[in-house]
Amino acid sequence: MKNILVTGGAGYIGSHACKALSQAGYTPVTFDNLVTGWQDAVKFGPFEQGDLLDRARLDEVFAKYEPVAVMHFAALSQVGEAMSEPGKYWSNNVTGSLTLIEAAVAAGCENFVFSSTCATYGEHDNVVLDEDTPQLPLNAYGASKRAIEDILRDFEAAHGLNHVIFRYFNVAGADPDGEVGEFHRPETHLVPLMLDAIDGKRDGLTVFGTDYDTPDGTCIRDYVHVCDLVDAHVLGLNWLEQGKDSRVFNLGTGSGFSVMEVISHSNAVTNRDVPYAIGPRRAGDCTKLVSGSVRAGEELGWSPKRSTLETMIADAWRWHQNGHYEK
Ligand code: UDP
């Protein structure tokens, strides 16, 4: 069995990736500091608690498991927090990733799959966001991810670190088997907040701004199912194992939905109305982020299977009603 070091394997996307890796015949080794992750979510392989800033701990884990690749999910990822506490993002995301990348190179682990974000693109009017779009992030979260992409390119040139970078659009949904799902504390993401509001776990949803330049005035995002997203990571890993060149791929469906459209789909899927109020814009939000790329489909053979809003909300709702983590 081939070991894959999965940083952030106790988090939302990382835990789904661990399941996909184990189903594809790999052993996912989760490395997570449990600051935002959950030990209960580590179900598909060994768990090593540790922090990306702790080089000695990373060296120990690389020596113990001799992973053939790293999948690097661990990161702080809230746009609002990144605006008010940018230092946390530069330290945890950038310095932490640099420490991990140096440890991987020192251990001779040359295949690296990285979670980046469409937030690295920033605001581009009437431009299709493909992988060659200039990266002009509006917030420290996007800026931190862009910096890590630069580090990967430099380490490839200097040390032969082969990498696949995935720029995610908005990830939603949950494992249809209910083994893992989305559970953040505090929660800041639209879909789980909406479901919390429906069943009274919070007072209601605040829609962040209705004065954007979009048909209904609310922000437009491209939502992709977490299971489809992690399937692309297994394809990215296979790409590297086949010795192909480092590559960047957008992961989105190419369809955009406004906040109000997501709410109305939720009302239809759950048969319950989302209680909401209109609030001011959230700092750092872009008007519209929709993937304009077909590269992942053409080159990786990726085809999203569960990424309709109905399926994502239905899967998230099922998890929301039955699943949660305690520790
Ligand atoms: N959003 C909102 N109210 C909330 C949370 C999010 O209106 O309580 C909006 C947010 O402004 C954005 C979209 O929903 O336009 C998706 O936000 P989320 O935080 O889920 O993901 P992001 O786009 O920041 O990665």
pLDDT of residue 278: 98
pLDDT of residue 140: 92
What's the half-sphere exposure (Cβ side, CA atoms, 13 Å) at 97?
A: 26
Strands 220-221 vs 257-258: parallel, antiparallel or unpaired: antiparallel
* Helical residues (DSSP H) of 210-308, grouped into ranges: 226-241, 259-270, 295
pLDDT of residue 326: 83
Among 282, 291, 312, say which to mutate for ligand 1: greatest number of ligand atoms within 8 Å of CB: 282
pLDDT of residue 80: 87
User: Which residue is closest in CA terms to ligand 1's atom 6?
Assistant: 190
Cβ(81) – ligand 1 distance below 6 Å: no
What domains does the chain contain, in order, with CATH numbers? Answer: 2-172+222-251 (3.40.50.720), 190-221+254-322 (3.90.25.10)
Name every residue whose Cβ is closer than 8 Å to that of residue 39 and which is 6 or more positions away in sequence. Answer: 10, 47, 325, 327
pLDDT of residue 102: 98
| List of the chain residues with pLDDT < 70 | none
Name every residue whose Cβ is closer than 8 Å to that of residue 178 and which is 6 or more positions away in sequence. Answer: 318, 319, 322, 323
Give, as one character, the DSSP assignment of residue 242.
Answer: T
pLDDT digits (tens, 9 = 90+) for 114-168: 999 999 999 888 778 999 999 999 899 999 999 999 999 999 999 999 999 999 9
**Phi then psi dihedrals of residue 129, to 5 deg:** -85, 90
pLDDT of residue 283: 87
In contact, 139 and 281? CB cutoff 8 Å: no
Cβ(219) – ligand 1 distance below 6 Å: yes
pLDDT of residue 7: 98
Cβ(78) – ligand 1 distance below 6 Å: no
For residue 212, indicate whether it is catalytic. no
Cα distance between residue 94 and residue 191, in whole Å: 28
pLDDT of residue 123: 87
* Helical residues (DSSP H) of the chain, grouped into ranges: 12-23, 55-65, 79-84, 86-88, 96-106, 140-159, 190-198, 226-241, 259-270, 295, 309-322
Cα distance between residue 41 and residue 23, in whole Å: 16
In contact, 49 and 25? CB cutoff 8 Å: no
